[in-house]
Structure 1
Amino acid sequence: MKYDKVVLAGGNGYLGQVLQEYYKPLTRELIVLSRKPAPQTENIKTIVWNARTAGEWTDCLNHADMLINLCGKNVNCRYTPENQTEIISSRVGPTTLLANVIQSLAVPPRLWINVTSATIYRHAEDRPQDEETGEIGYGFSIDVCKKWEDAFFQSATPRTRKVALRMGIVLGKRDGAFPRLLTLARMGAGGKLGNGQQYVSWIHEQDAAKCTEWLLQHESVSGVFNCTSPKPVKNEVLMAAIRKAGGIPFGVPSPAWLLEIGARVIGTETELLLKSRWVLPKRLLDSQFEFSYPEVEHAINDIVWQP
């Protein structure tokens, strides 16, 4: 075992499950903080918390090699006032709570990663956005990201290194965006979405997990990191790669007006599909992080061909 203890706060969602599988063979003890109890599976232990108040769970953070905070209501919903309030509170609240707890611990985690979002950057079709020259956008989803990161960085944790990991769209077989896009393609509607020119900043799920370990190993780095493939693609390229990997000969395009109708029907927002996220992981590249799946075609083939 490389590590003694890794803690995943809110770690029972899709990305949390990816991280559980990644760290299971690497750490002596893997703890998931969850609102719902679950039986212990080998070295994976679930501890119940409410993400609002301190309790007996706080002791599990002592002597942890790393804490990864994944808390937050799914943004795949309509941005009603009620949902907006919950989206913000479900991110800012646990982040503030964890900061207060870490400040009180005798031996706090060596590293705290807050998984935030690459959607903090503006809609970009003219040039890529990175950690140094990227421009923060405007609107509700960007306000969420700003409040989230403010809550993370405004607390002093001198014995715990902190990284805000601005995650792109995670591609994997079991959940997230990819299975839904593949289903759309298999139904014949796998053409470009909108005008197809919007950039998609994506990351293979294994590179997302691998990145967190790299951050743990490189003790001199901290602050903001973009977690996206170094080769983002336009939506029309992504959809073509999905069709090719799935052996699907054609795909009917979905214009923006049709997507808006569909979004209202299924209770989501078209921003998730139509915003151009052209984000580059400059700090990872400058530090020689090696992506296993930098090319979208290779990443999609790997996902589709998984048993």
Structure 2
Amino acid sequence: MKKVVLAGGTGFVGQDFETRFEQLGYNVLIISRQSGHIAWQDRTAIIEALEGAEMLINLAGKSVNCRYTEENRRIIMDSRVETTQILGEAVLACTQPPELWINSSTATIYRHAEDRPMTEKDGEIGSGFSVEVAKAWEQAFFAFKLPSTRQIALRIAIVLGDGGVMKPLTNLVRFGLGGAQGAGSQQFSWIHIEDLFRMVMYVQEHPELEGVFNASSPHPVTNRELMSSLRKQLGVRIGLPSPRWMLEFGAVFIRTETELVLKSRWVIPDRMEKAGFTFHYAFLDEALSDIVKQSRE
């Protein structure tokens, strides 16, 4: 049986991927901190899981949806860098290592951009804590030179599906708060979870592809357009805006950071499109329509 290893596969994306891989006939092995899975401390079990696997997909990392306290900053960084190092050492120890290792990265690595889109070739790396995490994550990944394993880092935009970020966004709209957040002009780069999975399968099928790829729809929208589209899909006519001061005030109480909604992420999947990949959900309206339909069913 074909085998795939999902590291950190217990979150929204990991659970979705597990189901899709099993539907394709894969034996899915998960490395996580949850009981019943392969433990991060069990090096022997990790190596055994990786032996002969078609793919290793690393999704591990503490959620950034929290206040950036000193302790949370440390955990966010370590949960990405240390797990990547554990996996790299395990791959090197394999007799028959995975053919492909896909490591998560983030579209947040680019600077706040409202003037032009960021591609893999000419995108400008930003500054700040989130960017430093992304840089350290990719550095840890590409520090490994693996003669038998192809390496791809996916700089993933906001993933849309029946779960994840859609739940709080939907709640905002239903409670009448689905207007623009902050100025509303900040770019929102996104990808439908089905296209993210299709992208994974596409790079597996094309052995000439390696390195860094932006995992995002080719048609990002502004925050104002995002909320307008979501209101339309949910049949809500009015949405009150949330000015910056209100977001800053509320973020303290719900223990998160306003960067998650105020940073302008304008990211284009240039390399992926040039490689021939086509999106099922290239435009936001059709993506949201599909997701809202799924949630109602």
* CA offsets 1:105-139 (integer angstroms, 9 cap, x no match): 10000000001101000000000001000000000
Aligned residue number for residue 38 of structure 2: 48
**Aligned partners of 1:117 and 1:167 also within 8 Å:** yes
The match for 1:235 is 223
* 1:59-138 paired onto structure 2 within 5 Å: 59-138=48-127
In structure 2, the partner of 1:4 is 2
2:19 is matched with 21
**1:27 and 1:220 mapped to 2: Cα distance?**
25
Q: Compute the displacement of 1:83 (Å).
A: 0.4
Alignment equivalent of 1:186, drawn from 144, 152, 174: 174
CA contact (8 A) 2:112 2:263 kept: yes
CA distance in 2, matches of 1:52, 1:221: 32
Query: Which whole-Å deviations, capped at 9, do the CAs of 1:258-289 have from their partners, x for residues lacking one?
Result: 00011100000000000000000001110110
The letter of the residue matching 1:248 is V
Among 188, 204, 224, the alignment partner of 1:200 is 188
State the shift of 1:299 in Å: 0.2
Structure-2 residue corresponding to 1:36: 34
Offset of 1:34 from its aligned partner?
1.9
Once the two structures are superposed, what CA deviation does each residue of 1:242-270 show, in whole Å capped at 9, x if it has no partner? 00000001100000000001110000000
What is the deviation of 1:156? Answer: 1.0
Paired residues of 2:47 and 2:93 also in contact (CA < 8 A): no
- Residue-by-residue CA offset, 1:24-53 (whole Å, 9 max, x unaligned): 121331111122224xxxxxxxx321x356
What letter is aligned with 1:98?
L
Gaps of 5+ in 2: none
Q: TM-score, normalised by structure 2?
A: 0.97
Query: C-alpha distance in 1, partners of 2:214/2:183?
Result: 26
What is the root-mean-square deviation in Å for CA atoms of aligned residues? Answer: 1.0
TM-score (norm 1): 0.94
Residues 18 and 76 of structure 1: CA distance in aligned 2, closer, same or farther (over 3 Å): same
